[in-house]
Amino acid sequence: MAFRATSYGPSVAKILGMDGDGLRPMPLAPAGVSCPVAVAALKGMKSRDLFPDSRVPDGAMAGLYLYFSALDPAHSIAQDLESRDGSFWHGIMHRQEPDESNAAYWFRRVGNHAIFPALHKHAAALGFNTGVEWNPFQFIDFCESARRKPGSADADLAMRVQLVEWQLLFDHCAGAAIGKAGN
């Protein structure tokens, strides 16, 4: 997936630039915030200001917090989003917590999400195939297994797929409400 932090404006690019430009694989179970400076900067910003023309500004903000492994603020935002997008961010957050049963609950609420076809395609290209369509429950199980084997090929694959998942969902939420390519 061709992800460019600059696609979301200079403020978002600057924040993502503090820790990998949206290209750094996120841990399966974070031990803490990856970039405290970025999280501190986010706390002083409003989602509507960072993402003025986006489809789901609060979803994009939850995504930024998750990228930096700031699970508590990501959770606070995601739980207030009554949508598939909010449930998706909520599910990712609980998967990383790790709380696989709670993650599964939120992914059941997601149902079939608009990014699933692209996620399925990109995950398969990386070497993780869930059959004929994306299966978030199979990915939860894979992440849980991989988390128990730090440094393994499975852990590396799970983190790379998780990054693509984050990029696709972030793009879906941060993208313009009308006419945004790459959904």
68-102: pLDDT as tens digits: 999 999 999 999 999 999 999 999 999 999 999 99
In tens, the pLDDT along 6-27 reads: 999 999 999 999 999 999 999 9
Identify residue 174 by its one-letter amino acid code.
A
Give per-residue pLDDT as tens, 28-63.
Answer: 999 999 999 999 999 989 999 999 999 999 999 999
* Mean pLDDT for the stretch of residues 141-164: 98
* Residue 138, amino acid: Q
Query: Rounded to an integer, what distance in angstroms lies between the CA atom of residue 99 and that of residue 70?
Result: 16
Asked if 174 and 51 count as a contact pair (C-beta separation under 8 A), the reply is: yes
Q: How is residue 7 written in tokens?
A: 């696609």
Q: State residue 114's pLDDT score.
A: 97
DSSP annotation string for 155-183:
HHHHHHHHHHHHHHHHHHHHSBSSS-S--
| Alpha-carbon span 16 to 98, nearest angstrom | 24
The pTM of the whole model exceeds 0.85: yes
Q: Is the peptide bond before 57 cis (omega within 30 degrees of 0)?
A: no
Q: What mean pLDDT do residues 110-138 have?
A: 97
CB 69, CB 34: distance < 8 Å: yes
- In the structure, what pLDDT confidence band is assigned to residue 176 with cuts at 50, 70 and 90? confident
Rounded to 5°, the CA angle 109-114-115 comes to 100
Report how far residue 59's alpha carbon sits from residue 47's, in angstroms, rounded to the nearest whole number: 9
Euclidean distance between the first and the last CA atom of the chain, given in angstroms as a whole number: 12
Q: Quick one: pLDDT band at residue 183, thresholds 50, 70, 90? A: very low
Residue 90 tokens, joined: 């909520």
Q: In this model, does residue 182 exceed pLDDT 90? A: no
The predicted structure's pLDDT at residue 177: 62
The whole-number pLDDT of residue 1 equals 72
